[in-house]
Structure 1
């Protein structure tokens, strides 16, 4: 059923007349639905006495109320329908007793909760308040009149300007088992959290709420301190189930343990607190009741093993050696004092992922008191030990005792020789097992694995007393058939200390027997040597490191910068202007990096603006090279560039007659000898007029010459303009 959560505007009171008698326990839940409009499931898991409960009190739906924790203000309510009812099972179904039968009833609805409507920083809580509990409970006063209140706190659904998603813990189905007087009993009350939050468990006095016999299903009230059950005399939260070992809970995993001293029906509650990043974000209570009965005395089975050739039974501080020619099977015995008792035996290896042995037969039935039964443990070919490492077989014998089977465990340590599988080999491309290394200098070599039987191999590496990745070593595990190969690479870090020795074990494993590989290792030792660093050098192709350049020269400034390093380090070549930006000044130079040697060209065509009105300016450029070793060294060379203005030169004496007759002699008026430009005074234009003042020639570009072959003879005059001076003269053309 999909419902929108109903905000409280007007509370509707719907009171069911039937009393929910004989409530055994339960808990509330709220879970987030990822990427769904109906973004939450809310509900209740309730346990109900199937023998003594009032069938009419099994509600078709429950009403769950939500309150704001800060001020206990009602926020809304939800009607959740019953979606499932089933019987609670026993851990051993054959151990059921006629006076104990429980239903698990689940109520749930899928709803839409708008996160911004649940944004109060202190969070919210939901409750279900109902009367009444089982009237035969031993450890509380007036149990048939006592109500049950289930409680769950959840964090705001919107915090720090974002949706805050959370689900309450999920718990496995409770078993309907009973405990025996003066016998240890374990009860798993632990859960898991979908968000990865931490769960902390503690025992509390169960909540009673405000419901009672006269008003068994009244709407819940908000409260910061709900009423609790009243214990009978002598009972507290520390001994809710009294006895030689009163009820305790493991704070980490929720495992309950108790050795009860008297028969009875005992109610208890566990509080589960939910933590995220060290902050508590939620809590819930789980109620239940445990029946303690007087059970017949039962004795556990006993496992016995007498190694071949010995007259005494095996003790667990022995190692059994099985040679390659010995039989693959050996005999173990189990005894049980009870007649017609079914005894089963299971076995597993503790330090292997696969067992590689069998137990036959695996089940027996005793015929007489203290019957002794024999079975075989048979080892397979892959049950082999390497490097004198014994394999531990754990045998567990289990009988049919109630409420839980009684067991006995026998650990047998076996060292078995290899019979048919040849060992692989591991080698490297190094000349030996010792490698001298220096900080910052790369080390590379290959590691090889080979198997004479052509079995599947796995090759890996592991640092002795250090993590390879933390040290920057690169060696990825690799697998293959018959042979494998992988490259090892390491640049020792700068903090590697001279004299240190690091050992890496390169291991190849024969994977013929999955779960029990045959390993062979080869260590390589890295000895850190001193890392003397010879500094790099930088120079230019200039004969001297000073250049005087006259602005306006036809050729710019060019030279090469060269950096070298006597070691194998990476070097970097850069440049910087002293007090000026090289790029803004028009200088062209590219920073470079490389190994051993680098060359980068420098070029510059200075302009007048760089003189800033002065006759000359000096520019210093530092060319720097630095190596990338751990003890970084640098070298610098400086080039000084002096920029000068060209100065002012006088106008030359121009001829006053030309004869443009095509004989190649004195045909043109030559301007090549005009004064050179400088930053203060430079050519603007030249104009030639006839004797009546008419312009016959004009140029803004400095001309080479003027050859007036299409102009009539006569007298002409000219004007040559510079920015700060001019020159005027007359010219006669004879034809």
Structure 2
């Protein structure tokens, strides 16, 4: 078995030149192998004409070619060996005919596909191109010269830098059944998808490809429009198999249906498109052919039932009532016009998980024309109905008609009274069935279940027209023998309106008859009274709910947040930034809880990074207080915080003379009026030089003043530097 995917530039192989008409149909497949080093299985399922096909055309391996869909560029090819061949079976094995015999041949190989080589967004496709089709096909021109191209599209292995797993749909083996002229025929052509993708089905014209009788097995070519078969005159995709009901396919299930009008061998194709989350991700074309023969006239069996005391046969809209003391068994008739025909009868209870009845006997063989056979339906003890709800028994009689059995269905609705099982009882610890409730005030009681017969019990609850969990009601299902009990708890929400009534049904099921339990129910009605709860309030120590802060100010932002509740309930105080995380921007606020009142301080020292290069930014903070006794009783106040930087300030006009003689007048070079730091323009340093360029003073820290007492008088130069600007000048020192 080959373990590598071969690039086209290295392609070297021998082409088999066997010429034959043998191809009945088939499809390609690609399947993910998640736990294997060779992560995909690629192959071909082909149906081979075992009677008319040349055995020499049964290839020991096939070459499957892969192309990029966007530009039809060759990606690689794979040689897949034959791993299985088996005969196609029939729905009824006794219906085989001498002119129809088909093999299903599977070719497959594992391969390692590199995701980096299959990442094109438009995906890829693979083909197998081979000649020739079955030469006896009726609905196409020159069938023995027509090639067959199988086609499959698959998505990239990577989407948005994430691995994209996918396998093509899986189809069960096709049965080799045939259709009869002027008789309805159904053919399941549907498949399943391992990834849960949805599938849609469409009848299309089969692809012919580029192979022909002279070149039956050629290398695959990339194309966006492969050649298709030529229908004979009067045939198209709307009537591939003509007749009273031409060939149709159910777009959702893949079920084919047809009532053909004439004998023949008809080729057709179904395109199966694969969708994930509403987006098409793949497609595969399935080819096959259906043989239509002139069958002997067959008639279906017939089921008949005459209720006790009736002179006419049962009509399916009737309900049969079986009372206590009535016989447990009744008789049904099945007839069939065909002699020596095997009739099988099956039955099931449609609206019950168990049948609780038997059919005796369930199989017959007719001995004369229109033979009449009788069988008994016997009801078990657990076949009982409650609350006038009948149980529907569906009976199906099936014969041996070819190519598929003919059937008849009879539905009997039966209401049978309970004759031996006592109903359980359900009660509560409440004084009555009506409970007055108040928002925020818990309600608790116990629900009991008991059975005099000591049977298994299941106790559960269900809200009428609402989900108990959505309303915060707590009542878990419980089971036991003879007696069960469970606590019910509920704190009505604050949005419960005065006058509303909610009903909860507590259901107790007697499980003596599994699948058909005996149920009883007790309702409890909850009437909502006016809630006495008053909502809490929240405010801050600010006079107005807005603060403008200039970055670099000596003090940050600080204030107190206060919550209060007039009902002395437990309340909580919290805060949330609108569109930002308070902690990420350096805001400090601790959520607190308490009774009646609660206070928590807020503080913040904004930094330049918060401006993101803008002159100012606004931040909205919501402060919320919530009444813990009633979650939706709350109050919110919002504070707007505007952060900005100072506008650029000019350098002041410095004096050009100082007299450091300690007389308190003009003794120092004063720096108090230097511009304040900006986010992008901060104080860097100050340097003072004498007239010969020697540094006499330097500081990286913004100084208060320069008061030179130990230098000589004369002329000096100074340089004041900020991040993006500087200021220089001269100064005379007089002594």
Counterpart Cα distance in 1 of 2:570 and 2:20: 82
Query: Which residue of structure 2 lines up, in the alignment, with residue 314 of structure 1?
Result: 314
SS in 1 for 2:3: strand
Q: 1:472 to 1:627 in 2, by over 3 A?
A: closer
The alpha carbon displacement at 1:471 in A equals: 2.7
Counterpart Cα distance in 1 of 2:252 and 2:573: 60
Q: 1:211 to 1:571 in 2, by over 3 A?
A: same
Q: Is the 8 A contact 1:536 1:635 kept in 2?
A: no
Query: Which residue of structure 1 lines up, in the alignment, with residue 528 of structure 2?
Result: 528
The alpha carbon displacement at 1:429 in A equals: 2.2
The alpha carbon displacement at 1:528 in A equals: 2.5
Counterpart Cα distance in 1 of 2:477 and 2:181: 56
Query: Which residue of structure 1 lines up, in the alignment, with residue 161 of structure 2?
Result: 161
Q: 1:18 to 1:457 in 2, by over 3 A?
A: same
Matches within 5 A, 1:394-413: 394-413=394-413
Counterpart Cα distance in 1 of 2:142 and 2:624: 93
Q: Is the 8 A contact 1:13 1:218 kept in 2?
A: no
Is it true that 1:334 corresponds to 2:368 in the alignment? no
CA deviations 1:679-731 (Å, max 9, x no partner) are: xxxxxxxxxxxxxxxxxxxxxxxxxxxxxxxxxxxxxxxxxxxxxxxxxxxxx
Query: Which residue of structure 2 lines up, in the alignment, with residue 299 of structure 1?
Result: 299
CA deviations 1:179-219 (Å, max 9, x no partner) are: 00011100001111011101011000000000000000010
Structure 1 length-normalised TM: 0.75
- The unaligned stretches of length 5 or more in structure 1 are 539-560, 576-588, 604-622, 637-735
Query: Which residue of structure 2 lines up, in the alignment, with residue 142 of structure 1?
Result: 142
SS in 2 for 1:56: helix
Is it true that 1:392 corresponds to 2:414 in the alignment? no
Counterpart Cα distance in 1 of 2:198 and 2:591: 54
Query: Which residue of structure 2 lines up, in the alignment, with residue 571 of structure 1?
Result: 571
Counterpart Cα distance in 1 of 2:574 and 2:46: 77
The alpha carbon displacement at 1:443 in A equals: 2.8
The alpha carbon displacement at 1:634 in A equals: 7.4
Query: Which residue of structure 1 lines up, in the alignment, with residue 171 of structure 2?
Result: 171
Is it true that 1:211 corresponds to 2:211 in the alignment? yes
Q: 1:511 to 1:128 in 2, by over 3 A?
A: same
Is it true that 1:73 corresponds to 2:102 in the alignment? no
The alpha carbon displacement at 1:436 in A equals: 2.3
Matches within 5 A, 1:128-277: 128-277=128-277
Choose 1 or 2 for highest CA Rg: 1
Query: Which residue of structure 2 lines up, in the alignment, with residue 420 of structure 1?
Result: 420
Counterpart Cα distance in 2 of 1:447 and 1:382: 27
Q: 1:447 to 1:565 in 2, by over 3 A?
A: farther
Counterpart Cα distance in 1 of 2:314 and 2:249: 36
Counterpart Cα distance in 2 of 1:167 and 1:294: 41
Is it true that 1:278 corresponds to 2:278 in the alignment? yes
Query: Which residue of structure 2 lines up, in the alignment, with residue 689 of structure 1?
Result: none
CA deviations 1:258-285 (Å, max 9, x no partner) are: 0000000000000000001111000000
How many residue pairs align between the two structures?
A: 579
Q: Is the 8 A contact 1:592 1:598 kept in 2?
A: no
Is it true that 1:287 corresponds to 2:287 in the alignment? yes
Q: 1:180 to 1:602 in 2, by over 3 A?
A: closer
Matches within 5 A, 1:451-600: 451-534=451-534, 566=567, 569-572=569-572, 593=593, 597=595
Counterpart Cα distance in 2 of 1:562 and 1:262: 88
Query: Which residue of structure 1 lines up, in the alignment, with residue 118 of structure 2?
Result: 118
Query: Which residue of structure 1 lines up, in the alignment, with residue 633 of structure 2?
Result: 632
CA deviations 1:617-670 (Å, max 9, x no partner) are: xxxxxx99853336636799xxxxxxxxxxxxxxxxxxxxxxxxxxxxxxxxxx
SS in 1 for 2:10: coil
The alpha carbon displacement at 1:439 in A equals: 3.2
CA deviations 1:374-432 (Å, max 9, x no partner) are: 11000000101111111111111111111111111111111111111111111222222
Q: 1:590 to 1:429 in 2, by over 3 A?
A: farther
SS in 2 for 1:116: helix
Is it true that 1:33 corresponds to 2:33 in the alignment? yes
SS in 1 for 2:261: coil
Q: Is the 8 A contact 2:534 2:633 kept in 1?
A: no
CA deviations 1:219-276 (Å, max 9, x no partner) are: 0100000000000000000000000000000000100000000000000000000001
Q: Is the 8 A contact 2:171 2:192 kept in 1?
A: yes
Matches within 5 A, 1:81-92: 81-92=81-92
Q: State which drifts further: 467-476 or 354-363.
A: 467-476
SS in 2 for 1:6: coil
Structure 2 length-normalised TM: 0.75
Q: State which drifts further: 379-388 or 10-19.
A: 10-19
Query: Which residue of structure 2 lines up, in the alignment, with residue 349 of structure 1?
Result: 349
Q: Is the 8 A contact 2:87 2:102 kept in 1?
A: yes
Cα RMSD, aligned residues only? 2.6
Counterpart Cα distance in 2 of 1:32 and 1:237: 33
CA deviations 1:60-90 (Å, max 9, x no partner) are: 1000000000110110000000000000000
Counterpart Cα distance in 2 of 1:18 and 1:470: 70
Q: Is the 8 A contact 1:346 1:397 kept in 2?
A: yes
The alpha carbon displacement at 1:340 in A equals: 1.1
CA deviations 1:283-306 (Å, max 9, x no partner) are: 000000000001111111111111
Is it true that 1:359 corresponds to 2:359 in the alignment? yes
Q: 1:133 to 1:453 in 2, by over 3 A?
A: same
Is it true that 1:383 corresponds to 2:378 in the alignment? no
Q: Is the 8 A contact 1:533 1:631 kept in 2?
A: no
Counterpart Cα distance in 2 of 1:633 and 1:244: 71
SS in 1 for 2:144: helix
Q: Is the 8 A contact 1:28 1:150 kept in 2?
A: yes
Counterpart Cα distance in 2 of 1:59 and 1:591: 77
Counterpart Cα distance in 2 of 1:306 and 1:33: 58
SS in 1 for 2:9: coil
Q: 1:202 to 1:625 in 2, by over 3 A?
A: closer
Q: 1:565 to 1:372 in 2, by over 3 A?
A: same
Q: 1:169 to 1:626 in 2, by over 3 A?
A: closer
- The unaligned stretches of length 5 or more in structure 2 are 539-561, 576-588, 602-622, 638-735
Q: 1:390 to 1:444 in 2, by over 3 A?
A: same
Query: Which residue of structure 1 lines up, in the alignment, with residue 662 of structure 2?
Result: none
Query: Which residue of structure 1 lines up, in the alignment, with residue 5 of structure 2?
Result: 5
Counterpart Cα distance in 1 of 2:228 and 2:359: 53
